[in-house]
Amino acid sequence: MQRLYNFLRQYPLDYPDYAFWLEKCRRELEIGYKKAFVCRQDGAVAANLIFQRHKDDPLVLEIKNSRVEPHCRNQGIFRSLIECTETYAIGQRFKRIVCDCHIENAVVIEAMKSLGFRIECAEELYEKGRLEAVLVKEI
């Protein structure tokens, strides 16, 4: 858990109140509310994917955070993390996976599309004036 926490802290994302979210995430991982898949290389965390049951819809799994170390990108790690998440979701009888990212993050959006996700909408989820693409995949 500590290695994942340090990894998340090392690469803060461009979201308001990220430090607050990070502490809340740590607690929720510890109690099992959030779950994570982690990829390690040489003993160090190289990538992660954190998810949880959607707060409003128990049939939806929500991806909350994912990242891959810059030097580990383009090796299929993100695809593997998504595939692990899908396998988990199917086994737990979820019907849909949802995630979001900044609308201008074309790399992530294209990666998600290549994995079968589609853009459902664009919304101001975290900050006024900044759109997030909401991506979904039916399973």
Which domains are delineated in the chain? 2-138 (3.40.630.30)
Cα–Cα dist 133/123, whole Å? 7
Which tens digits make up the pLDDT trace of 59-105? Answer: 999 999 999 999 999 999 999 999 999 999 999 999 999 999 999 99
103 within 8 A of 132, measured Cβ to Cβ = yes
How many other CB atoms are there within 10 angstroms of residue 93's CB atom? 9
Nearest to 116 by CA among 133, 96, 89, 94: 96
Q: What is the pLDDT of residues 11-55, one digit of tens each?
A: 777 888 999 999 999 999 999 999 999 999 999 999 999 999 999
CA distance 54 to 34: 10
Q: What is the pLDDT of residues 104-124, one digit of tens each?
A: 999 999 999 999 999 999 999
Cα three-residue angle 46-48-49, rounded to 5 degrees: 160
Report the predicted TM-score, pTM, of the whole model to 2 decimal places. Answer: 0.94
Q: What is the pLDDT of residue 26?
A: 97
